[in-house]
Each structure stands twice: as C-alpha cells, then as structure tokens.
Copies of this chain bind each other. A is one copy, B any other.
Amino acid sequence: MPRNAQWRLAARPQGLFKPTDFAWHQEDTPPLGEGQVLVRVVLLSLDPTNRGWAAGDTYMPAVPIGEVMRGFAVGRVVESRDPGFTAGDAVSGLLGWQRYAVTPARSLRRLPDVGLPLEAHLGLLGHIGLTAWVGLVEVGRPQPGETLAVSAAAGGVGSLVGQIGKALGLRVVGVAGSEEKCRFVTEELGFDAAVNYKKTIVRAGLRRACPEGIDVYFDNVGGPTLEAALALLRHHGRIVLCGLISQYTVAGAVPGPSNLANLLVRRGRMEGFIVSDHADKTAQATADLLRWHREGRLKYRLDVVEGLEDAPVAVNRLFEGTNVGKLVVRVAAE
C-alpha cells in the first residue's frame, strides 16, 4: 500500500489558521477492508466552511483534534474492495487533507463523464456549482429583469452565482475586494457592474450600481455588506445566506445588521441553506451548469496552490480575500 501524508487538526483555530493548528503526519495506508476503496487525492478544495469544521460543531460535528482535517476533494480510485468502483474511476467526496484516502464506498460519488477535466468538478460542478445554483434558483427565486447583488463575487461560488444570474436574465452586480477582482467579474464573467469594497463605502457603491434597489442579495460575507444590501432591499426582496466569511475569524459575538427592521417594512425574506439538504436537485443543477458552460455563458477559474504541504497557509487566503476564483490545492498530478 502507498505511503500516505496528511494534515491532522492539532488545535481549534482562533482568528486565522496558524501553522501550529495542524500537524503533518506520514504513515502507510492500511489494507482495505470489505466495502472500502483507496483513492488518490488529486485536487483538494479549500472552502470557507473549513474553518467552521475546525473550530467547533456547526451543521456538521467538529473535526476531532488529532484526526485528518476534513476537506472536499476529487481523486482517482487506486484499488477497490467494493463492486461499485474500479481502479481509475474519478470520484469526489470528503477525502480529507491527505494524499490517499481509505474510505467506505458509500461515502464516494462517482463523477459523471461529462467530457471535462477533473478540475471542472471543483470549479463548476460538485458542491460549488450546486451551492450557487440551489442558493440562487431555489432560495433566491429570481425573476427575469430583477437586480441581483452577490458578495465575494470573484470567489468560487460568487463567480458562478453572478453568471447564473446573467443566464437567467438578471441585472448582476458583484461586490469584491480588489480592482483585479472587479475587472475579472465585469470583463471576463459579464457582470453588469462591480463594487470594490476596499476602495468605496460599500453602501454608497451599491447604491450607485443598483439605483432601483436590490431584489436578490446572495450573501457570502455578512457584516457591512449585508447591512448595505438590507438598506437597498426592494419590496419582497430576498437575501440568500450562503456564508458569513467576514465573521468566521472574528472572536466573540458579532452584532447583527442594525437595519434588520427593513426586512419587515419591505416584506423581505432572509434564508439560510446548506447545499447538502438539496441533493435531490443535483441532476437538474448539473444539467443547467453544463448547458450554460457549453454555451460559453458559464466560466470558472481555479486559483491553484501547488502541493498539500502549503494547505494550512493557503486556506487563510479565503479570509484575507487574496484568491481570485475557486481556491484548490493540487495534491497530485492527474
């Protein structure tokens, strides 16, 4: 069996991750039991929710101290003791921050052959694409002609949300934290406008970009951007809570938006969702995403970190806002 290397969680993070929150561990992979599969991890997804998993119980139990850090990844089957998988199969699942995963077959998903490279299953399909599609279509329920605002607009989910919005006939405004990101979403992805919240007061920038207000706000960040969107929310507007990244590394209680009363006065709806509750929509979402991608209306960009060793440092780029596109770690050549 191949030699494995993995990052194990060594301490609960306070603020940003510190290198000492993880411990590097090497061991031989154990022999497979009945129903188990050995997977070589190819690309590891780094997601804002990783910090929640490390910090404590959220919508999933916390990663126990001393265990392999939880992470979503795509890889190739090396060996299988389950009739459902054979060597060479492309799979995805919570494979963890490691080179090889030994996992029960039932926790794996075989990736459909859609004629796209493995990376498309992290950048376009998979949990990222499903999160964007479910959050916007199912929770946001936009109507053509409405105005959509999305924060973390150049990130993995946000960049898809805005493009799906354009495909659905919406006017789309992104909020992002650099001129490069703003150019990326307007020039490459076709957003109608973008607000650089590091250069402009976000409320003023959104007001200029959305003169008639916001019908749907897809929130990945919380904080002042959420407050600005509430200020500009139109009657019967919807706020889709997908993430609150501005709060994840802050210690203590974070005050909520001071203008929550707008949700009442404007008859608005604010709703949280977790993509795993919507697995029944996978087929429909995947079909839409692939069709739009083939029509050239849905692009994705990966921000690739080379080598598993750098994962504990690279993950902080999500909270520092220095990634453009979906942040992934290349663990092995495909």
Contacts of A61 in B (CB 8 A): none
| Chain B CB within 10 A, most for which of A253, A260, A263, A273 | A260
A320 in the interface, Cβ–Cβ < 8 Å?
no
For A269, give its contact among B253, B266, B271 (CB under 8 Å).
B271
Residues of chain B within 8 A of A255, CB atoms compared:
255-256, 258
Query: Does A136 count as interface, using CB distance less than 8 angstroms?
Result: no
Residue of B nearest to A252 (CB): B258
In the bound assembly, the distance between CA atoms of A72 and B167 in angstroms comes to 46
Q: How far is the CB of A139 from chain B (nearest CB, A)?
A: 9
B261 close to A258 (CB less than 8 A): no
Which secondary structure dominates where chain A touches chain B?
A: loop
With A266-B272, A267-B273, A272-B263: A256-B253 Cβ-Cβ less than 8 Å: no
Cβ 8 A contact of A261, one of B247, B270, B271:
B247
Give the chain B neighbours of A268 by CB distance below 8 A. 271-272
For residue A96, give the distance in angstroms from its CB to the closest CB of chain B: 22
Task: Assess whether A241 is interfacial by the CB under 8 Å rule.
Answer: yes
- Shortest C-beta distance, A163 to chain B (Å), equals 23
Contact A267 B260 (CB under 8 A): no
A244 CB contacts on chain B under 8 angstroms: 260-261, 264
Chain A, residues 261-297, CB within 8 Å of chain B (1/0): the string is 1011111111111100100000000000000000000
Knowing A267-B277, A270-B270, A272-B265 touch, does A257 contact B260 (C-beta < 8 A)? yes
Give the CA-CA distance A242 to B270 in the complex, in Å.
14
In the bound assembly, the distance between CA atoms of A253 and B256 in angstroms comes to 11
Would A265 and B222 be within 8 Å (CB), given that A253-B258, A258-B256 are in contact? no
With a CB–CB cut-off of 8 A, which chain B residues contact A270? 263, 269-271
* CB <8 Å contact, A243 and B264: yes
Distance to closest chain B CB from A236 (angstroms)? 8
Q: Are A259 and B253 in contact (CB under 8 A)?
A: yes
A241 in contact with B264 (CB, 8 Å): yes
Question: How far, in angstroms, from A263 to B257 measured CA to CA in the complex?
Answer: 13
A272–B269 Cα distance when bound, in Å, is 6
A131 to chain B, nearest CB (A): 12
With contact pairs A270-B270, A270-B271, A271-B270 given, residues A256 and B265 touching in the complex (Cβ less than 8 Å): no
**A:65-103 near B, CB below 8 Å:** none
Q: In this complex, what residue of B is CB-closest to A58?
A: B265
Interface: A168 (CB within 8 A):
no
Task: Give the CA-CA distance A243 to B253 in the complex, in Å.
Answer: 24
In contact, B264 and A254 (Cβ under 8 angstroms)? no
How many whole Å from A40's CB to the nearest CB in chain B? 33
Q: Can you sample 11 A-B contacts with CB below 8 Å?
A: A242-B264, A244-B264, A247-B261, A254-B258, A254-B261, A255-B256, A263-B270, A264-B273, A267-B271, A267-B273, A269-B269
The 5 closest A-B pairs by CB, nearest first: A256-B256, A264-B272, A253-B258, A255-B255, A269-B271
